[in-house]
Amino acid sequence: MQKKAYLLLEDGLLVEGKAIGKDGTTGGEICFNTGMTGYQEIYTDPSYFGQIIVNTNAHIGNYGAIDAEQESEAPKIAGIVVNDFSEVFSRKTSTESLQQYLERHNVTGIADVDTRMLVRYIRSKGAMNALISSVLTPDQMREEIKKVPSMDGLELSSIVSTKKSYFVGDPNAPTKVAALDLGIKTNILRNLSSRDCYIQVFPAKTSFAEMEAWKPNGYFISNGPGDPAAMDYAIKTVKEILASNKPTFGICLGHQLLAQASGISTYKMHHGHRGLNHPVKNLISGKGEMTSQNHGFAVSEKDIEKNPDVEVTHVHLNDSTIMGIRLKSKKAFSVQYHPEASPGPHDSNYLFDQFMEMIRSGVKELEAVNS
């Protein structure tokens, strides 16, 4: 008989289900992802560090797990909540069941939960902390949940970032990109290296001077977890990168930090955007894009209106939140969503090409000056 588990939300809602993954207790901010596929990519995305993920797709685990679908070396989530959990998988290339994978990585979860009800509840009440346990009583959980920190004001990137710099790609590639790792996803590096880039990935708290000493042609500011307003060190670094006027591209947290470095504030959203089906309009081209998103913070629309140097390039078609900006006086742009989306959609892949073109045009300008 499968072990019982409980899910407790900080406002008192208690849900009973069955234990999956590793027996134990885990806490974090609860949020939901509407993706129909890609659960392993979600669990290994460092941007989810400290969060409990509710998968809205009814069936989770049915295609198992495989190392090729990792977005980092191991799951970064605090826990998972699912409806129908399958320990049997049909994909022949998978190397283990999702249950085996979760146990191996010490991830605690709960299944047989009415996730439709739970998602509607979170959409109504907003993001909040939660606790999953297969070992504590509900009364014990009510005391334990008080210890879970709020995501608002929490700095987490330095925890998930690489501890030592490393290289990705061909050393003989014509373009050098310095990537500031705030929780970078593997597929971002694949997208850059596939475009003839040699990338050096630097720890979150690396100084601009250290990165610039490598003489990169451009800078990439990565995605990552936590509150951007709590990251004074990264805001300072991005300001120095902008002062160099080298081509700069930011994704997700990188987008929020580009805004912060430009004097634009960020705020915590009611329940965030997480999924593979978010509609975005490119205001420059007029085209619509289906996008992958994962963020609980956004940049201030009012602050952008007051800053003549910042142009909005993309907006969310559901709620009109800012999805992309570019600086008029600098070679810098960013988007709030994930153009590297794995498994997809791939509508926004062109943004990497845009970054490459910005770098190459800058190299040609420099060569013309020095010739």
Instruction: Write the pLDDT tens digit of every residue in 75-87.
Output: 999 999 999 999 9
Residue 356 has pLDDT above 80, yes or no: yes
CA distance 191 to 114: 37
Q: What superfamily does domain 157-370 belong to in CATH?
A: Class I glutamine amidotransferase (GATase) domain (3.40.50.880)
CA dist 79 → 5, 97, 132, 232 (Å): 12, 17, 7, 29
**Catalytic residue check, 31:** no
Taking 3-state DSSP, the helix, strand and coil percentages for the chain, each rounded to the nearest 5, stand at 30, 30, 40
Tell me, yes or no, if the two domains 4-147 and 157-370 fold the same way.
no
pTM as predicted: 0.96
pLDDT of residue 340: 97
Q: Positive or negative CA dihedral for 5, 76, 292, 258? A: positive
The answer to whether residues 288 and 280 touch, using CB atoms and an 8 Å cutoff, is yes
Single out the catalytic residue among 252, 278, 295, 316. Answer: 252
The enclosing H or E element of 302 equals helix 301-305
Query: Which residues face 132 on adjacent strands?
Result: 7, 26
What are the pLDDT digits (tens) for 222-254? 999 999 999 999 999 999 999 999 999 999 999
Using one digit for the tens of pLDDT, what is the confidence trace for 49-74? 999 999 999 999 999 999 999 999 99
* All structural domains of the chain with their residue ranges: 4-147, 157-370
Distance between CA atoms of residues 14 and 128, nearest Å: 14
Instruction: Return the CATH number of the domain spanning residue range 4-147.
Output: 3.50.30.20
Q: Give the pLDDT confidence score for residue 148 in this predicted structure.
A: 97
User: Is pLDDT at 132 greater than 50 in this prediction?
Assistant: yes
Residue 301 designated active-site? no
Tell me if 221 sits within 8 A of 254, measured CB to CB. yes
DSSP sequence for 206-220: --HHHHHTT--SEEE
Residue 340 among the catalytic residues: yes
Give me the pLDDT at residue 369, please: 44
